[in-house]
Amino acid sequence: MKHWFSDLVAFQRDPLNFFLDRGKAATEPLVPLAMGPYAVMLVADPELVKPIMKAEEAMIDKGKLIYKLREIIGRSSMTLSGPDHKARRAALHQQLARGLATSYVPQISAIIREQAAALAVEGRFEAHHVTSRLTLRVICNILFGPDVLSAEDETLLIESIKLVEDDLAADIFKVLPDLPWVRARKKARMRHGRAQMMHVVERAKDRAGQASILRALDALKLPPEELGDEVLLLLLAGHHTTGTAAAWLLYHIAADPALAARLAAEARAVSDDTGEAVPSRLPGAATSLAVVREVLRLYPSAWWLSREVKQRMELGGRTLKPGTSLLISPWHMHRDPKYWANPDKFDLERKFAGAAFLPFGAGPRACVGMGVGMLELQLLALEFAAAYELRPLAGPPPGPKPSITLIPPPMLLGLRLREVAPPPTPPSRRSPVSRSDLAKKRENAPATVEPSLVTYLEYALSDVGEIDETAASLLEAAINRLRLVGGLDREGRRAMN
């Protein structure tokens, strides 16, 4: 018979391989784990995930492991059950779905271009450092409006997460209590981290004014502290998980120039004449979607999920008692050869038809922002590949660090503007183009053409009497490329910061 704690040392030494090894070796749907005085089962069969996640809350609920997250995110929809959870989730889902159908694509694209243009000045960047800030800026802009958080606010929020997440992760699976002075230090860090986060939240609420997401939450008449908890959850869940996946996504694009070229071609195919992505074309962009899915399979930010049995029940051939914890590990299910061929390979031809793919959870508690997250990652892949040639500046990175989410290691990438070939024009058909002709083109330009582009072109030609069509085409191509990455300001000048 196993000792109560016989699995605990192996889990704490290497949580990811612990789940993977136990899941791969499983010969039954539920694997008992000896991790303390409470009954714990690893769900090894993906076919059980939906029944568990869709079960009535009177039978299976979030349980004590998830409730420990209240130390940071309070009484938010992630830690609530029953009518309160359903009402808040419905309000958030309605707002996010409306944005996906209307304005999110141009907003997200513009933010990615602005951030990418700034990186071109340095020519190198650390992937997760950039993507964590970029995704935080995206979620703030699309939910609360532009300039809600300052750069200092963004840094404070990100550093506050780092301050508390490892302590929180360690406490979730802890069996033996900390020594009193260790516990006191952890509690102090936790209080300080949450206080800093809530300070940022209050500033965001004040600056957001009448943002639709706040109006939707206000309609629920939440107590002020719980409204703050919900805003904090939106900021954390909206950027922390997406930011980790985005770092891996950029690394894989950098490591595979052929893939980057495919994505650049796909970016052109889904864009209109001004370089803007057309929302209706994105669902058919197979390469970028395959990249996003494969990144989410290999590096699921939510690497573990848990539920707790509330009433005696039959599941997976076992009788489960109240209080039994059910652990589901997407890290295991996404890498188990029983469900995937060559599971460790980054494979864009992979089929995603089974129940073993659950990067956003499942059932009524699946991530409410999954649509926004998928869109953000897809646009990130398309915009970066279209504008830049990326390359790794070091060898293959080590594996991720399991904390509350899956944290990427440092990954230093280099980048430079992607060269764009000019339109092929037969030499025999070229003819001079005067500045007066270009001025007429500006007068007759459609309203969708940004005036600053023509202004910049005229400025570039100010000391030249005449140029041929080849030179004009080259300048126009360069300007369009700068516009694609957000590299021109409103006056048509090159934006360098």
Known binding-site residues for heme equal: 367
Say which residue the tokens 């939910």 belong to: 143
Give Cβ neighbours of residue 395 (< 8 Å, ≥ 6 apart).
none
What is the strand order of the sheet 388-392 is part of? Answer: 124-126, 412-417, 388-392
Question: In this structure, what DSSP letter does residue 123 have?
Answer: S
Angle between helices 127-144 and 151-172 (to 10 degrees): 110
State whether residue 317 is helix, strand or coil: coil
DSSP 436: H
Could you tell me which residues are annotated as the binding site? 367
336, 343 contact by CB (below 8 A): yes
427-432 CB contacts, 8 Å cutoff, 24+ apart:
430/468, 430/469, 430/470, 431/468, 431/469, 432/466, 432/467, 432/468
* Structure-token pair, residue 435: 């500045």
Residue with tokens 């008692």: 321
Strand-pairing partners, residue 401, are 407
Cα–Cα–Cα angle for 453, 460, 273, rounded to 5 degrees = 30
- In 10 A of CB 121, how many CB atoms? 9
Dihedral over alpha carbons 227, 229, 230, 232 (to 10 degrees): 120
Q: Which two tokens stand for residue 22?
A: 């136990």
**Distance (Å, rounded) from C-alpha 46 to C-alpha 329?**
10
Q: How far apart are CA 41 and CA 50, in angstroms?
A: 16
Helix (H, G, I), strand (E, B) or coil at 257: helix
Question: DSSP letter at 36?
Answer: S
* Alpha-carbon separation of residue 358 from 304, 332, 461 (angstroms): 10, 11, 55
CA 58 remoteness from chain centre:
32
Neighbours of 237 (CB within 10 A): 22
Element (H, E) at 50: helix 49-53
d(CA 132, CA 158): 8
Q: Do the Cβ atoms of 283 and 290 come closer than 8 Å?
A: no
